[in-house]
Structure 1
Amino acid sequence: MQTLALFDVAPAAPAPVKRRRPLALGELPISSVPAAYDREHLYSPKADTIEWIDYRPGDRFAALSRSPHVPKAWGTWWRTEASVPTPDFLGLESGDVITLADGDTATVVSTCRFGAVVRYALPSSPWRDKEHAEQYVTARNQFGHWYR
C-alpha cells in the first residue's frame, strides 16, 4: 500500500495557455470599468459626460471623475481613484498583446481605472540604456490600435 507523506507533491502539469479572442470592433466589452463606443473609438467615459452618451456600466467601478487641476488635489485623486488596480480595462488583461497606434506591438503589464500600462520594445541604439518603455493606453481606434 502506497501512502503520500505530508510533503509529497504530485508533479505539476503545465498550465494551459489562455488564448483570448480580440474584441470585435464596435462591440462593448464586459469590463470592470464603464465602456463607450463613439465615432468608431472605444473608451471609458468620465463621470461628467456619461449622462449624454450610450455606454455599458462597469462591473466593479463607476465612471472616473475628471482630474482636478490643483497639484495636491490631483495627487490625491490619482492615488485614491484613478490608479486603483482593476482586473481589466476595457477588456484588456495583463499579458495581452496589443497593437499601438503607431503599429508597434505591446504587452499589457497592468490595468487600473485610468487605463492599461503597456510595455513595448525600443529599437537598439548605442545611446539608449533601456530595451523597453512603458506607457498608458486609454482608448482604441477604428483600426483596433490602442492609444492614449
Structure 2
Amino acid sequence: MQTATLFDLPAAQTPPKAVRTASRPPLALGELPVSSVPAAYHREHLFSPKAKTAAVVDHRPGDLFPALPDPSREPKAWVVWRRTEASVSTPDFLGLQAGDEITIVGDTAATVVSTCRFGAVVRYALPRSPWATESHAEMYVTSRNQFGHWYR
C-alpha cells in the first residue's frame, strides 16, 4: 500500500488559454475621462468623488449620475446605500468598460468584468501553485495612480 507524503504533488494541469479582446487605448494620465460618473484628478490620482469631496475638488460631472452620496455609518443603512446607490450598474466607470484590459497595482494585468457607480470589478490571474484551488480572483478598482495602475 502506498501512502501520500507531503511532497507528492498532483500532475500539473494546463490552464485554458485566455481570449484577448482588442482594448481601447488607455486614457492619458492627467486627463479627465468622459464618463457616466463624475471624474476628478487630484494629487496625480484619478477617482470618482463622493458628494462631500465633489464639493471641494475640481471635477467633471458624470454624464448619467451625480456624485455618489456618502454612505451611512449605521450598518443597516449602509447595506441599503450599497444596494440602491453604489451598486447601480453603469455603462462605464471613469472610462473603463467591460472587456477592457488594465494594469492593477503590482503591474498585474486584469480584465474589467463589470462597472457600477462605486467602481469596476476586475478579474486577474493568480500565481500558479499546486495548492491553489482558484486560478483567478476578482476585486474592485476605484482609482488610478500617477503610473497608470488601478487600485481600490
Structure 1 and Structure 2 fold alike (TM over 0.5): yes
Q: 1:118 aligns with which of 122, 129, 139?
A: 122
Cα distance in 2 between the residues matched to 1:61 and 1:129:
39
Shift in Å at residue 126 of structure 1? 2.2
Q: Does residue 60 of structure 2 align to residue 56 of structure 1?
A: yes
- Residue 146 of structure 1: aligned partner: 150
Cα distance in 1 between the residues matched to 2:115 and 2:35:
11
1:8-32 C-alpha deviation (Å, 9 max, x unpaired): xxxxxxxxx7541210000000000
Q: Does residue 88 of structure 2 align to residue 77 of structure 1?
A: no
Shift in Å at residue 89 of structure 1? 0.2
Mind listing any 5+ residue stretches in structure 1 that lack a counterpart? Answer: 1-16
Cα distance in 1 between the residues matched to 2:56 and 2:79:
28
Alignment of 1:87-106 (within 5 A): 87-106=91-110
TM-score, normalisation: structure 1: 0.86
- Moved beyond 4 Å, runs of 4+: none
Shift in Å at residue 78 of structure 1? 0.5
User: Does the 8 Å contact 2:23/2:99 carry over to 1?
Assistant: no
**Considering only aligned residues, what root-mean-square deviation do their CA atoms show, in Å?**
1.0
Shift in Å at residue 80 of structure 1? 0.2
1:72-93 C-alpha deviation (Å, 9 max, x unpaired): 1111000000000000000000
Q: 1:27 aligns with which of 24, 31, 37?
A: 31
Q: What is the number of residues matched between the two proteins? A: 132
Cα distance in 2 between the residues matched to 1:127 and 1:19:
33
1:29-59 C-alpha deviation (Å, 9 max, x unpaired): 0000000000110000010121211100000
Mind listing any 5+ residue stretches in structure 2 that lack a counterpart? Answer: 1-20
